[in-house]
């Protein structure tokens, strides 16, 4: 892959005095105007600091939420400007739109090393529609382009793909480049290669399951998606969430795993309750009764999965093992998180819930790579083309 990196852009053609459009992922949780988690802002800082230190005139853009092409003040990026300024240690101007007079005036008025944050890109339908005219308007604000938003790299949007052909030079920021470097290591992993996959539905992970069966030594399945596999094999799962229309897929993947020598691991015990509200009365069972639902893997399964993680040389984890946000159903996910952190192998964790679980356990600094893009990372490890990356690749080939 020929994607140009930020350092090459800094050296050739250079950025001092030039306007650089930086697509970040600043889609942070905001409640009543207060940012609840600054992780994504912090992740954007290395690239922005490099650019400002080199004298670039930095134009930062992002989406926030899903305003569906309409202006929604609850999804304004205005609160982000203050936090971004604090983190960068410099003033950050804010344009109340991402195109038009305010954006154009703000971009034209930048001095070397200054930063402008544009309003939410998705206030315009042209962003998600990848409208060429809208992409050209964004591109007209700057001389150079940097994509540092891996979390949206799997979207063919105006700011991630459409505007790239309309700028002179384009590059990947440090965050995006780092994501690709770690995820590329999963294509030729050091073995044993363990994948831990959780979440609610088999349908959400079908593609990645099929792809990883071809490469992994073992796939440990948790979360509600495990019940579809178990039910497909005729095991009692009580009232647990299942997808009957995916039973054939589950059996097919089981057979393919056996054919490829990939061990597909399923829970052998469960933490169950009559409902979420009855969590205080939860119990551990090997077979789920008809009047109960499974909410977490049981301790035997947690120990088995943890042993697999400690022995692995490469680990990919995406999706919690149970409803970890409820303390009675958190033990399985926490046990897996500790084992992944203790492993001496390469560990890559992606997906918002998995990251939240790792951070909830205070183990984030013991994971080799915390991926900022759950959906993007899953698509990438399947070998699918990410439009945002493909656009940078094409731009690099066009200037080589």
Catalytic residues: 40, 201, 352, 375
Calpha distance 334→283 (Å, rounded) = 17
CB–CB of 347/341 below 8 Å? yes
SS3 of residue 296 by DSSP: strand
CB–CB of 79/35 below 8 Å? yes
Could you identify the residue written with the tokens 């005036």?
105
CB–CB of 369/343 below 8 Å? no
Chain center to CA of 86: 25
Instruction: Locate the DSSP E strands across the chain.
Output: 19-23, 30-31, 34-35, 57-61, 92-95, 115-118, 144-147, 169-172, 193-197, 218-221, 263-265, 270-273, 283-285, 293-297, 314-318, 346-350, 369-370
Calpha distance 160→135 (Å, rounded) = 9
């Amino acid at each position: 892959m020929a994607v140009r990196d930020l350092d090459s852009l800094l050296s050739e053609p250079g950025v001092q005095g030039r306007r650089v459009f930086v697509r970040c992922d600043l889609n942070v949780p905001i409640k009543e105007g207060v940012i609840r988690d600054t992780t994504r802002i912090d992740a954007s800082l290395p690239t922005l600091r490099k650019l400002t230190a080199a004298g670039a005139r930095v134009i930062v853009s992002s989406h926030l939420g899903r305003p569906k092409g309409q202006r929604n003040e609850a999804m304004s990026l205005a609160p982000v400007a203050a936090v971004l300024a604090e983190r960068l240690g410099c003033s950050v101007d804010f344009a109340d739109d991402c195109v038009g007079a305010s954006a154009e005036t703000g971009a034209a008025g930048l001095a070397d090393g200054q930063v402008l944050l544009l309003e939410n890109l998705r206030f315009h339908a042209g962003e998600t529609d990848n409208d060429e005219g809208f992409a050209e308007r964004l591109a007209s604000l700057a001389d150079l382009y940097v994509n540092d938003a891996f979390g949206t790299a799997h979207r063919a949007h105006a700011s991630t793909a459409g505007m790239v052909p309309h700028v002179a030079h384009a590059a990947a920021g440090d965050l995006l480049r780092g994501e690709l470097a770690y995820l590329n290591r999963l294509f030729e992993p050091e073995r044993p290669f363990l994948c831990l996959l959780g979440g609610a539905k088999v349908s959400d992970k079908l593609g990645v399951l099929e792809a990883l069966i071809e490469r992994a030594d073992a796939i440990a399945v948790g979360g509600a998606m495990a019940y579809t596999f178990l039910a497909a094999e005729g095991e009692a799962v009580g009232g647990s969430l299942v997808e009957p229309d995916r039973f054939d897929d589950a059996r097919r993947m089981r057979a393919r795993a056996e054919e490829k020598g990939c061990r597909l691991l399923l829970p052998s015990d469960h933490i169950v309750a009559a409902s979420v509200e009855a969590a205080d009365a939860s119990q551990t069972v090997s077979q789920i009764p008809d009047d109960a639902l499974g909410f977490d893997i049981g301790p035997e399964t947690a120990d088995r999965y943890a042993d697999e993680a400690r022995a692995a040389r490469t680990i990919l984890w995406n999706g919690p093992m149970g409803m970890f946000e409820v303390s009675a159903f958190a033990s399985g996910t926490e046990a897996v998180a500790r084992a992944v952190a203790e492993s001496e192998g390469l560990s890559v964790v992606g997906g918002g819930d998995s990251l939240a679980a790792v951070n909830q356990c205070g183990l984030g600094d013991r994971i080799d790579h915390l991926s900022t893009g759950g959906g993007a990372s899953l698509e990438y490890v399947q070998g699918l083309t990410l439009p945002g990356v493909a656009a940078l690749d094409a731009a690099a080939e066009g200037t080589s």
